[in-house]
Every structure is written in structure tokens, then in C-alpha cells.
Amino acid sequence: MADATSLPFLARIRQLLPARLARRFARRQDGAAAVEFALVAAPFLALTFAILETAFVFFAQQTLEATASDAARLVMTGQAQTAGYAQGDFKTAVCARVYGLFDCAGGMTVDVKTYTTFGTVNNTPPVTNGVFDTTKAGYVPGGPGCIVVVTLYYQWPIYVSMYNTGLSNLSGNKRLLVATSVFRNEPYGPAGSC
């Protein structure tokens, strides 16, 4: 048991003990790398996932462009017209050219329109308030010599939207991918009205 003279000494030690422990804790280097990694890991992973998502979107866009160019040849050469393709038949032909990257049957929208001049072509996607309107897509492939625009639309899901990467341009964390091919039909038969 402590005597009366040691009581102020013990009280003084109790006061200094938390300060001493705090200084000793601040000087310790054990686990500093783990703490620094924890501070840097979240932004690093966010940046990595945003870069990967952006790369996938660009790859999907390039694939859609190649598909639109390839499928447009069916209309330009008159194969779709002479075979009597309807919009569903043309979409099936488009989907046959896309391999595994897209949910073509459920997510691809095909729009084929005919124009009188190249100057009147309208490339504005049918989007209102962040919602894509599939009802504005049509199928008018035109005859020989007609100016035709084949447009493929795909609503690509964006998964890293929590980091606000700016990739989504539709509501529901989706990006509208658009591939367009504008051309004049070849003279595959007698000229008709456009």
C-alpha cells in the first residue's frame, strides 16, 4: 500500500501515462505500409476499374461499328431487298455478325431509313430525358440508287458508375452505343423511287 507522500507521485504518473503512450505510438513504424496501402488502395482500384470499363466500352463501340459496316452491305448491294427482308430479318442478319459481346436479340435496335439527299440525313439518336425510344426505329431499305442510313443502337450497361466515370449517357447506368453507315445503294436493278 502506498503512503501519503507517494499519492501525488502516482497521480502524476497516471496523468503522463496516456501522453507517453500516444507519443510512443506515433513513433512506431510497425504497420505503416499497411496503413498507407489502405489509404491508397481504394482510389487505385477505382481508377483501375474505370480504365477497364472505358476500354470495354471502346472495344464494344468498335465492334458495333464493324458490324454496322458489314451489315449495311446487305442493303447497299440489294441483297436484303431482293430477299424480301423485313426489319426482324435484317436484325437477325446483323446478330449473325456479332459474336458473344452483345445481347443482340434483346438489346440491339436496328434502324434503316431512306433519304432524298445526303444533306437531309438526321443522325440524332432518339433519346428523350435519358431514355432511348425504340419505337422510332424503322426499316426502309430503299431501291437502287437511294441514299440509305443504317444505324445500330445498343444500350451498354455501365458497372463502375459509382465512381462517376462519365460513361453513362442514358438513365439506369447505361451508355448508348451508336454505329451508323451512310451510303447510296448500288444499281442492282431498275431504278425505283426513293
pLDDT band at 7 (very low <50, low <70, confident <90, very high): low
- In this prediction, residue 16 carries a pLDDT of 61
Q: Are strands 131-132 and 108-115 parallel, antiparallel or unpaired?
A: unpaired
Alpha-carbon span 63 to 57, nearest angstrom: 10
Q: Which residue has the higher pLDDT, 136 or 165?
A: 136
Alpha-carbon span 105 to 94, nearest angstrom: 10
Question: DSSP class of residue 100?
Answer: S
Closest CA to 175 of 94, 64, 47: 64
**Cα angle for residues 169, 134, 150 (degrees, 5° grid):** 90
What is the percentage of the chain residues whose pLDDT exceeds 70?
Answer: 81
The 10s digit of each residue's pLDDT in 37-85 is: 888 988 888 888 888 988 999 999 999 999 999 999 999 999 999 999 9
The 10s digit of each residue's pLDDT in 45-57 is: 888 888 898 899 9
pTM over 0.85: no
Helical (H) or strand (E) element with 179: strand 174-184
- In this prediction, residue 37 carries a pLDDT of 85
Which amino acid, 116?
T
The 10s digit of each residue's pLDDT in 82-117 is: 999 999 999 999 999 887 788 888 889 999 999 989
Whether the predicted pLDDT of 134 surpasses 70: yes
Alpha-carbon span 114 to 92, nearest angstrom: 20
Alpha-carbon span 130 to 26, nearest angstrom: 52
Q: How many CB atoms lie within 10 A of CB 145?
A: 16
Alpha helices in the chain, H assignment, sequence order: 7-27, 32-76, 79-82, 87-95, 104-107
